[in-house]
Structure 1
Amino acid sequence: MENSYLAAPDESIHYYRGISHTLYQRDIPYVLLMHVGAFNAEVLQGLLQLYRRKGFEFVTLPEAERDEFYGGATDLNLPPGSEALEEAMTTRGLIRPPRTNFAAQLDSVCR
């Protein structure tokens, strides 16, 4: 189950990095949001190892928010920016890459 669970963030890394590089020719500081739960606690070590293997470094939220990508969301004097990488792709008329629907897969397992 853990390997299956870790397939989703592994694919998400490639998905969002691809979009970030299409839009900005670089990685933006990504924000990792996790929900509190027993299973998340169980797989946390594997998840952190996955991110480290992929070259990620961990910073605080205020450090990440200093990036210009988040400027419209954090500086109320600026016009609103894109709320998400996917929205920025749509705004620019770019096609998002295909993505596995892991929620549907999980739903079929948990019933």
Structure 2
Amino acid sequence: MKYFKILCFLLFTYGVKSQNVYKTPSGAKYHLASCRMVNNVSQVIPIASAVEIGLEPCKICKPPISIRSNLASQNRAKGESSTVQCRGTTKAGTRCKHRTSIANGYCFQHNPD
């Protein structure tokens, strides 16, 4: 039974890595062939390439997520956060307590853009 589980995992891993997905010219996501977002101008690429160039899976057609992208997110150091405390100041003059993942370091209320 143990060997059967290992064999199934290896076949699944091979299937995910070799699967082709579609990238639209201006999109930031990758899609299945059956997705309504795929047009005739879409480019066929391997799923591993889609993840390498930073594309995310479509929320409509839900293509498989690459095994490599899951492993990369697990390799983050403990305590490392994707959010930071806002650099803005309140009307009272104290530092804002909101956390943000926006690259400039400001929350939605203090964003200078």
- TM-score between the two structures when normalised by the length of structure 1: 0.27
Of Structure 1 and Structure 2, which has the larger fraction of its residues in helix? 1
Of Structure 1 and Structure 2, which has the larger fraction of its residues in strand? 2
Q: Which has the higher contact order (CA 8 A, sep 6+)?
A: 1
- TM-score between the two structures when normalised by the length of structure 2: 0.27
